[in-house]
């Protein structure tokens, strides 16, 4: 039973950690795309 608990805890920890990494990557891409769009718009207005 102890080994099963350890496996379950380890699996859940890996899942949460992996999910955070994926979520952080998605957020980073979205923020980067938004920043790029804003910069392009700003430059177009000035230019």
Percent of the chain with pLDDT over 90: 85
**String of DSSP letters for 1-47:** -HHHHHHHHHHHHHHHHHHHHHHHHHHHHHHHHHHHHHHHHHHHHH-
Question: Would you say the pTM of this structure is higher than 0.85?
Answer: no
The range of the structural domain enclosing residue 39 comes to 1-47
- The two tokens of residue 14 are 């890996």
The predicted model gives 4-33 an average pLDDT of 96
pLDDT at 44: 81
Task: Please determine, for residue 47, whether its predicted confidence score (pLDDT) is greater than 70.
Answer: no
Overall domain count for the chain? 1
Residue 11 has what pLDDT? Answer: 95
pLDDT of residue 46: 73
Give CA–CA dist 9/3, Å, rounded.
Answer: 10
């Amino acid at each position: 039973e102890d080994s099963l608990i350890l496996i379950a805890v380890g699996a859940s920890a890996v899942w949460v950690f992996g999910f955070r990494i994926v979520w952080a990557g998605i957020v980073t891409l979205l923020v980067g795309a938004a920043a790029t769009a804003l910069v392009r718009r700003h430059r177009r207005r000035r230019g």
